[in-house]
Amino acid sequence: MKIVPPRAQKGQGASLSIVPIFLLVLCVMGSMVLVANRAADRQHEYELDRERRQVAQTLSFEAERLMTSVSRDEALGELFQVQRQREQAERILASLNRRQATDFAILINRMEGEVVAEAGDAESFDQRRNFIRQFIEGSRLRGLDATTLGIGREARIVQDGVNVINLAAVPIGRNHVLIVTRALGANGFRRLSSMLAIPNLRAVPGTTNVETSYAIPSLGGTEQLAIVWSPSRFAADTLADLAFYGLFASIAIGIVSIFLIKRMQASTAAILKREAKASHEARHDPLSGLPNRAVFCERLAENIEDLVNRDTNIAVLLLDLDKFKDVNDTYGHAAGDKVIVDFGNRVKPLLKQTDLIARLGGDEFAILQTGIHSHLEPSRLAQAIIDATNKPFTMDGAQMRIGVTVGISISPDDGTDVATILRAADTALYRAKNEGRNRFALYEHRMTEAERIRKLVDDELLRAIENDELTLAYQPQVHADTARIASVEALVRWRHPTHGLIAPGVFIAAAEERGLIVALGEWVMRRACQDAARWPGLRVGVNVSALQFRQANFVQDVHRIMRETNLETGRLEIELTESVLVEDADQAEAAMMELRAIGVKLALDDFGTGYSSLIYLRRFAFDKIKIDKSFLDSMEATGESAILVHSVVHLGRALGLEVTAEGVETEEQRRFLQAVGCHYLQGFLFSRPVPAETIDQLLAAERAEDAGRNAPNAA
């Protein structure tokens, strides 16, 4: 047995999907970090460059400022006048030093390279003088003549040993040049540092390979000095911050994502599980876990389609447990449930992989047996199932014995659609049950119509009554002399949705057999009494079967219905057959008396088919006898019957009974019956059983005829 595979692996697939998501996030984060890092590097280089340029610019600006302020100093005018007079010049230089905060000033005759005057800090005197000499030798100040006056202006930042020197050279007259210096000390650097917003700016001796440095050119070339500072690592710091928070955020996002994905997976898995469960439940019997009817029909349909491509057949086995109700009643429902489950488990091992067992409901099961070659295979399977089922079932130590009845149909022989095959198997099951249960039967095409009808009644009659599938036809009984309608007989019809119109002759007997005749009879009685209201003055005949008549409260029921439908006394005529009188004549007699008492007429139906002793019938209070159609039929063949009919009518009349002849089909019959004194005639010659509306029309036609006949007379 193969059951639809559940779609369970999806949850696992979803858990795998974390990995690519995680890798993707990792890649994105990684490349973001790389890009940011690269940007930070560039920013850093750019910053360095900017800082270096700023330092250089600011230093040269410092030198330039010294130059400008010295150039503007009034002392320069005085110095110009006294340029050759050493003492005076030195006094002026000293005052210049004070005002401009320079530490050394020297006036040099540049033609000769001679010092004319100098002033400054005593300690640095010699050192500075040498320095300035070196400077002049290396510069274009040397050997310049008057024509190039003005060119000698120069400002520079240079190194002097381990000091940074601010140096300005200003021409005085045509032959002299004034050079002032100012050492840039710790204070100066602090000032610059804050001015440039470059932290920790300072001069360090020696060369340095620090990025954040600016080399100050020396005059001699040997000593080295650099200005260094602490790099402003803005980009890197930002990146570090970013990295920190980014990492933090990523971890948070990662955790939240994983949490969310897990949640989603869990709920998806739950939904899938629920769906799978629901679809399993919709397709399986919860008790036995076996597939249900829907699944069975589906699989059967599929297998029927497949038959075209195969040289094998399929069989349907319908199984019905015997005495299952007893198990439930005696041992309780738990025991019943266990038997159902155990039964399923006993049958399963007897099936092939491709076979299917389903529980149709209650104690009914169905098996689809595939790939069979002859009826022997399902027969063997059925017998095996019966044998397995006959072994006792145990529950709490108690041993229960049940049986199983099996009906088998084979496709394509017994049908090529689901409904037909199932119906055939059902008919076979029915036959097996009738033959005594705990056995199997194969569907045979010879199975009688009656068997099928009996089954139909069994299965569907009650539903048909409830669904208003039944209707009444009415057949008139006419006056033999005038052919005018004297009464109508109600005859039940079953309009089956698939089998079409079913005649009562076919299903009444089955309904009696199955005890359904009482419900049916009550329905007919009520409907006939209701319809009678349409035809005032007309008698309505209703057939009552022996079984129904013998019901203890039959008379009360009739009375109740008459009251409920307001039917006048004398308008209901109950047709009984002799069989009613045979079994318990006394009881029948009593009931008949009661019926008479409430104004019900009684007709003896089918007279001539039973004992038919009119003398014997005297005892019973009939109002009418209805001579059976078979009398008329045989009358045609043998003259004897004609005499019989004659005497029956005669005797009936003599006993004060009304006489109706049934089944009148020919004009001869009519004439004969009329001639022998039959009161009423009923038969196709006058009308077939027809719907109530047709009776309306027939009565209307009679009235019209009356009116037509009366009118000329009156004139």
Q: How far is CA 330 from CA 362, 375, 400, in A?
A: 17, 37, 10
Distance, CA of 336 to chain centre: 34
Our finding on whether 491 is near ligand C2E (CB under 6 A) is: yes
Q: Which does 292 bind (CB under 5 to 8 A by kind): ligand C2E, Ca ion, none?
A: none
The stretch near ligand C2E (CB under 6 A) out of 48-56, 287-295, 499-507, 557-565 is 499-507
Our finding on whether 487 is near ligand C2E (CB under 6 A) is: no
Name which position in 605, 625, 658, 661 contacts ligand C2E (CB under 6 A). 605
Q: What's the Rg (C-alpha) of the chain?
A: 65
Our finding on whether 385 is near ligand C2E (CB under 6 A) is: no
Q: At what angle do helices 449-466 and 517-532 cross, to 10 degrees?
A: 60
Count of residues near ligand C2E by CB under 6 A: 25
The stretch near ligand C2E (CB under 6 A) out of 147-155, 283-291, 537-545, 588-596 is 537-545
Query: At CB < 8 A and 24+ separation, what contacts does 249-252 make?
Result: 250/25, 250/29
What single DSSP character describes residue 444?
-
Q: Are 300 and 421 in contact (CB under 8 A)?
A: yes
Our finding on whether 663 is near ligand C2E (CB under 6 A) is: yes
Instruction: Considering only residues 467 through 486, tell me which ones interact with ligand C2E, judged by CB under 6 A.
Output: 475
Our finding on whether 683 is near ligand C2E (CB under 6 A) is: yes
Our finding on whether 503 is near ligand C2E (CB under 6 A) is: yes
Q: Which does 545 bind (CB under 5 to 8 A by kind): Ca ion, ligand C2E, none?
A: ligand C2E
Judged by CB, which is closer to ligand C2E: 184, or 645?
A: 645
Q: Are 567 and 533 in contact (CB under 8 A)?
A: yes
| Distance from C-alpha of 578 to C-alpha of 581, rounded to nearest angstrom | 5
Our finding on whether 259 is near ligand C2E (CB under 6 A) is: no
Judged by CB, which is closer to Ca ion: 414, or 662?
A: 662
| Distance from C-alpha of 391 to C-alpha of 573, rounded to nearest angstrom | 57
Judged by CB, which is closer to Ca ion: 73, or 605?
A: 605
Judged by CB, which is closer to Ca ion: 377, or 606?
A: 606
Our finding on whether 614 is near ligand C2E (CB under 6 A) is: no
Alpha helices (H) along 123-233 = 125-138, 186-196
Q: Which does 616 bind (CB under 5 to 8 A by kind): ligand C2E, Ca ion, none?
A: none
Name which position in 206, 397, 497, 505 contacts ligand C2E (CB under 6 A). 505
Smallest gap, in angstroms, from Cβ of residue 481 to ligand C2E?
19
Smallest gap, in angstroms, from Cβ of residue 606 to ligand C2E?
6
625: helix, strand or coil: strand
Element spanning 51, H or E = helix 18-72
* Residues 201-235: b if buried by 16+ CB within 10 A, e if exposed: bebeeeebeeebbbebebbeeeebbbbbbebbeeb
Q: Which does 228 bind (CB under 5 to 8 A by kind): ligand C2E, Ca ion, none?
A: none
Smallest gap, in angstroms, from Cβ of residue 482 to ligand C2E?
19
Our finding on whether 581 is near ligand C2E (CB under 6 A) is: no
Our finding on whether 687 is near ligand C2E (CB under 6 A) is: no
For 538, left (φ over 0), alpha (ψ -120 to 50), or beta?
beta
Q: Which does 503 bind (CB under 5 to 8 A by kind): Ca ion, ligand C2E, none?
A: ligand C2E
| Distance from C-alpha of 99 to C-alpha of 77, rounded to nearest angstrom | 15
Q: Are 44 and 237 in contact (CB under 8 A)?
A: no
Smallest gap, in angstroms, from Cβ of residue 469 to ligand C2E?
14
Name which position in 543, 612, 660, 669 contacts ligand C2E (CB under 6 A). 543
Q: Which two tokens stand for residue 267?
A: 């709920």
Q: Which two tokens stand for residue 682?
A: 């009923």
Cross-strand pairs, 473: 491
CB atoms closer than 10 angstroms to residue 335: 19
Smallest gap, in angstroms, from Cβ of residue 609 to Ca ion?
8
Where does this chain bind ligand C2E (CB under 6 A)? 475, 490-492, 503-505, 508, 521, 524, 543-545, 575, 605-606, 629, 662-665, 682-684, 689
